[in-house]
Structure 1
Amino acid sequence: MATEKLYYQNQYIRSFTASLQKSDKDEQGRFYVVLDQTAFYPTGGGQPHDTGMINGVNVVDVEEVDGEIRHYIEKPIEAQKEFLCEINWERRFDHMQQHSGQHILSAAFDHLFSYKTVSFHLGKEICTIDIETTNLSEDEALQAEKLANSIIQENRPIEAKWVRENELENYSLRKELSVLDNIRLVIIPDFDYNGCGGTHPKATGEVSAVKILHWEKQKKNIRVYFVCGNRVIQQLHEKHKVIQSLMTILSAPQEKLEETANRVLQNTKELEKIIDDLKMKFLDHEANQLINGAQEFNNQKLVKIIFTNRSMAELQQLGKTIAANTDNIIALLLNEQNNKIQLVCSRSKDVNINMNNVIKQVLPLINGKGGGSDSVAQGGGERTISPEELMNELCKEISGNE
């Protein structure tokens, strides 16, 4: 016997009693029960499933599978004559608000600009619609939002009606139907006629409000992010907290936040440039000191040094600067950090050694990867040997490449 769908008879039912038809496990080992009647809405038509309790056991999912409505529960329920069922009303009503708000917003874009909704998603926190256009202006979004909220404020009725295929010509449907039997229309008179199997409030006023948050390109369409009902209040609360925090951090009133933030960002960019310039001067100075302290090695000058916790970017810049600032010189720079070893090897133009070949000969010793050009190469790997041992191996390779 098919389960009687109470959610279509009265979408406001919060609790009900039912008899057990079936208790089983699915292929994944999830326990479920099938009831003779239910107000739990199963996932479908773009609307998420209800949750709640059956005889005090949590209902974590509801699906319609092969014609039966399965209530997935945390643990098995003892068989008895009657089950007491309770809907998580806050979740259900949120879904009703979001789903109806989606209908209204999609219809608004259709009425104003003929932008069809090609898909929608009712997310846990934010909802989206993909509308059939390659561009959406600020003014268009505001117009659609304004029209949607005016329909909500008018508190128009929302009707659900089962119709036959031959009756469809009496309705101006917003989009083509995906089924031609068991057709259920959700109607906002003189505004939206749409095939839908979801739950909706009895009037648009219960949606409370629609707020578009932002939008972005999604392939050939535009994805519009929005919230409805109580989620609008939640978004306002969260954004107000952020604004209050920024007002304190920036010591500026709300109306001056953008101006103040831009000024802080500009000052930060200028300070970052000064820091970068000072770093470069410091590295130049450090490179000159290393050049002055270079040792003689096979008729060449050799800079070899082991650092701790230096960045690879600094090592690379040091290696390049040393090679560029003097002739007949080789630089072997190692860095030890978090049980890893990094290395940079460079040479001046007049030294006839391929640094890429040198570094690739020693990288296997540390299970490393890297590479570069014949004049400068870099890499890194595990600390399987000490940095001092790796430095000795590099010196051997340089000697063998001459």
Structure 2
Amino acid sequence: MTKKYYYEDAYLTTFETTISHQGQEEDGRWFVLLEQTAFYPTGGGQPFDEGVLNGIPVNNVEEVDGQVRHYIDNPFENPSANIKGEIDWNRRYDHMRQHSGQHILSAAFAEAHGYETISFHLGKEILTIDLDVAGMTEEEALQAEDLANKIIGEARPIETKWMTADEAATYPLRKQLSVAEDVRLVIIPGFDYNGCGGTHPRFTSEVGAIKILDWEKHKGHIRLQFVCGSRVLAQLHQKHQVIKELTGILQAPQDKMEEAAQQLLEKMKTQDKEMEEMKQKLLTYEAKELSLTAIAFAEGSTFMQKAYQNRPIQELQKLARQIISDHDEAVVFLAVQNGDKLQLVGAKGKQPDVHLKELAPKIFSMINGKGGGKEDFIQGGGEAALSPEELINHIQKLLL
């Protein structure tokens, strides 16, 4: 069995060892087992350590059937050589601070409100915990956050002890143990007692600070996002940069930014409404212009058409409907090429004895496309095998 230095000293960053086994998994990944290691494997919500073995990057660490496997891109040419391992300390220490911060925040929610943590995830930028509660107020979140930061400020020791399950049962455990023997208890005296296999600093003060960012309902629980330590400063810097940029864009100081944004949104809504009204007027004029080019093709019926390049199909749908609302006798076809796609809209008024849905298969087969609709309105598209003008000409021949 590999000797696990990360349980003896979480602050150890370099070590010397030898390879006890080098192997390759079925998926082709190479790994080594070491006589001793300081590399923490993924587990308990905490990600693995990164670092190097004799300068070779370790890109993953997993515990498989009790073996701590260190994954490398290529095998060691001389696996019997002495090995020097080096841990990426910044990553390890960040994980130590985040994980301990999670213990503290979870204990704070349990003590302040009786909300138990049912899952935990330590991500690259933020952490999440799922609380066994259906809803939560901002006041409740701030109360737990304040209590957590109070515990951090008191610089309480963070102790780890190995014991049996019976011995652990004498402590006020925050949650049920997941193992029956070789229990590792992480203790913040007078505050939190929790079975855990992760790495932790020596004092709560090393966590630095905790800041809750947001929360949402998730599968009947509350999923809460937060950060600890240097990630708090990173979040502050990121948000400060955004506020600085918005201050310039909105031409308003921070305390007036919300009001300025609301005013801008109202102005945009008004402009959007005016724009839609103008577009509708333009469509009305365009419909009148198209009616001047109408061709008679049956008793009391007229044919209107036009081809376009690079125009939203939604506009052509509105235009076609506008035309037939003004002209009961009209059959109208509008085609447009957008990139490598050819799209078509067809519509008819109440008078023409034409069934557009029956014509649709013939029309869309010309462009290897699909489309459909109703007797009086069809739409669809396909390949730009023809130009919009050529497609319209073919349709005109079908009708006339």
TM-score exceeds 0.5 = yes
Asked if structure 2 preserves the Cα contact closer than 8 Å seen for 1:345 and 1:359, the reply is no
Contact 1:358-1:398 within 8 A present in 2 as well: no
- State whether structure 2 residue 39 is matched by structure 1 residue 40: yes
Please say if 1:64 is aligned against 2:63. yes
Contact 1:358 1:394 in 2 (8 A): no
Within 2, Cα distance between the matches of 1:81 and 1:347? 84
The 1-side partners of 2:99 and 2:384 are apart by 57
* Equivalent residues, number: 398
SS of equivalent to 2:389: helix
SS of corresponding position for 2:46: coil
The answer to whether 1:4 aligns with 2:19 is no
Q: Contact 1:216–1:222 at 8 Å: present in 2 too?
A: yes
> Who is 2:337 aligned against?
336
Aligned pairs for 1:358-377 within 5 A: 358-377=359-378
Deviation at 1:74, TM superposition (A): 2.5
Q: Distance in 2 between matches of 1:220 and 1:200?
A: 31
Instruction: Provide the C-alpha distance between the structure 1 equivalents of 2:399 and 2:163, rounded to a whole number of angstroms.
Output: 86
Shift of 1:119: 0.8
- Give per-residue Cα distances to partners, 1:290-347, cap 9 Å, x unaligned: 1122121233211111011110110000000000011211101000121211100001
**Rounded Cα–Cα distance in structure 2 between residues aligned with 1:280 and 1:260:** 30
CA contact (8 A) 2:357 2:373 kept: yes
Distance in 1, Cα, partners of 2:375 & 2:108: 64
Matches of residues 253-264 of structure 1 in structure 2 within 5 Å?
A: 253-264=253-264
Matching residue of 2:126: 126
Task: Give the CA deviation at 1:260.
Answer: 0.7
- TM-score by length of structure 1 reads 0.96
Q: Which stretch shifts more, 32-41 or 72-81?
A: 72-81
Once the two structures are TM-superposed, the CA of residue 396 in structure 1 deviates from its matched residue by 4.0
Task: Supply the distance in 2 between the matched residues of 1:312 and 1:115 (Cα, whole angstroms).
Answer: 53
| 1:349-395, Cα deviation, whole Å (9 max, x unpaired) | 22232222222332122222222222211111111233333223323
Q: Comparing 226-235 with 69-78, which one deviates more in the overlay?
A: 69-78
Alignment of 1:226-375 (within 5 A): 226-299=226-299, 300-375=301-376
- Counterparts of 2:393 and 2:81 in 1: how far apart (Å)? 83
Q: Deviations over 1:45-95 (max 9, x none)?
A: 111000001101111111111221111113222334421110000110111
| Cα-Cα RMSD | 1.3
Partner AA of 1:150 in structure 2: K
Which residue does the alignment assign to 2:15?
A: 16
Secondary structure, counterpart of 1:366 in structure 2: coil
1:161 CA drift (Å): 1.0
Q: Which has the higher mean CA deviation after the structures are superposed, 25-34 or 265-274?
A: 25-34
2:135 matched residue in structure 1: 135
Q: How far apart are the structure 2 equivalents of 1:375 and 1:106?
A: 63
Give the Cα separation in 2 of the matches to 1:181 and 1:384: 72
8 Å contact from structure 2 (residues 56, 72) kept in 1 = yes
Q: For residue 156 of structure 1, what is the aligned residue in structure 2?
A: 156
Residue identity matched to 1:351: P
Query: Could you tell me how far 1:250 is from its partner in structure 2?
Result: 1.3
Which residue in the other structure is 1:172 paired with? 172
TM-fit CA distance, 1:276: 0.8
Task: Report the AA paired with residue 148 of structure 1.
Answer: A
Distance 1:324 1:166 in 2: 83
Query: Structure 1: 5+ residue runs without aligned partners?
Result: none
Query: Alpha-carbon deviation of 1:140?
Result: 0.8
Amino acid at match of 1:292: L
C-alpha distance in structure 1 between counterparts of 2:353 and 2:170, whole Å:
87
Measure the CA separation in 2 of the matches of 1:215 and 1:371: 45
User: Is the CA contact 1:291–1:303 (under 8 Å) kept in the aligned structure 2?
Assistant: yes
Segment of structure 1 superposing worse, 9-18 or 388-397: 388-397
Q: Which runs of 5+ in 2 are unaligned?
A: none
Q: Percent identity?
A: 49
